Amino acid sequence: MPPQGSGKLLHLIARFAAAVLALTILSSSVTADPLILSATEIDLDPLKPSQHAVGPLEFLAGYELSSESGNWGGLSGMVVSGDGALLTAIADTGRWYRISLEHDSAGALTGIKGAESGWLLDTKGRPPRDKTYGDAEAITALPDGDYLVAFEHRDRLWLYKKPAQDHALTQPAVVAGAPPVIAKLPLHGGIESIARLPSGEYLLLSESGITADGDRLGWIGRRGKWAGLRLAPTGSFEPSDLALLPSGDLLLLERRVNLFDGFVSRLSLIDGATVLPGAVLQPRELAVLASPLNVDNFEAVATRAAPDGSVLIYVLSDDNQRMLQRTLLLQFRLTPDP
């Protein structure tokens, strides 16, 4: 028979081994994974390759992004670093993506250099338990390397804080104090758009939260101090993302889809001076992206200043991880009025 006390010792060893195994499984699921990403160049209009403008926007580059990874797809929000070297995106699958970009000396996108991906962690450092809990829809960057991310289904705002090493999206989330009323937004109509304003406040727009008179619901403020505002709709477009322009104005991306003309997206300007508590925002249309142009389910927009003082605009589509849809990354240049 075993020596006295050995059963207890074996039990402790087994429990220790199980704990180590559990930690190993968890750590393997949350670390960054290298991602083999292909970028195939596309024209703005596949039927007219010579077309290089839509409205006031100059078309600079277009790529279809693809990967054999089963995790790839569903990209719903993005930011691009000021130097253009890094595109950071979040997906409605609960994952983050970091894609290294290449540009020429004028700021035009010329390709990608590499990519990595990982899970967005909850407040206890765990990956999302299912797709509805990981449904990330919008992201904005803070000056210190932190990110604010909006989720729908389980509507919430989470802050990811940059550690001394690595980047913020590898860290456990911190509850960011969203407006409590967002819990009452439609199931698929939560916060789709976030922008950090020059004041340090945030502008949030819901996708399909609608007032009695048809305006889209929005909020301005920061943790614990939110005030309502509204977005005046035009047509059947719904907000899908926001980006701050160097001027302090905002670029609004909207979309609609129907059986007749498929996916249609619109880019509009919002005067930054009008973004105030209680305001009804009135966007001014810049350009519409529709067939026969290369379009898909555009859900993300980002901006940065070009070397010549113009504005570089990036739009990114969510393929919904479906075979008949694509992840498209288009780049435009907007030259502000003198």
The string of pLDDT tens digits covering residues 243-256 is 999 999 999 999 99
Residue 20: in which H helix or E strand, if any? helix 6-30
| pLDDT reported for residue 338 | 61
* Class of domain 33-334 as given by CATH: mainly beta
Sorted by where each begins, the domain ranges of the chain are: 33-334
| pLDDT reported for residue 24 | 34
Whether the pLDDT of residue 4 is over 50: the answer is no
| pLDDT reported for residue 38 | 96
| pLDDT reported for residue 236 | 87
Which residues does residue 295 pair with via DSSP β-bridges, in sequence order?
none
| pLDDT reported for residue 27 | 38
- Residue 124: CA count within 13 A, CB half-sphere: 4
Q: What is the rounded distance in angstroms from the CA atom of residue 313 to the CA atom of residue 54?
A: 13
| pLDDT reported for residue 337 | 74
Whether the pLDDT of residue 21 is over 60: the answer is no
| pLDDT reported for residue 41 | 98
Classify strands 147-151 and 136-141 as parallel, antiparallel or unpaired: antiparallel
Q: What is the rounded distance in angstroms from the CA atom of residue 176 to the CA atom of residue 154?
A: 14
CB 297 within 8 A of CB 270: no
| pLDDT reported for residue 42 | 98
| pLDDT reported for residue 5 | 45
For residue 8, name the pLDDT band (cuts at 50, 70, 90).
Answer: very low
Mean local confidence (pLDDT), 47-55 = 96
Mean local confidence (pLDDT), 52-75 = 96
Question: Of 7 and 63, which is predicted with more confidence?
Answer: 63
| Closest to 142 in 3D by CA, of 79, 224, 205 | 79
CB 195 within 8 A of CB 203: yes
Question: Of 233 and 331, which is predicted with more confidence?
Answer: 331
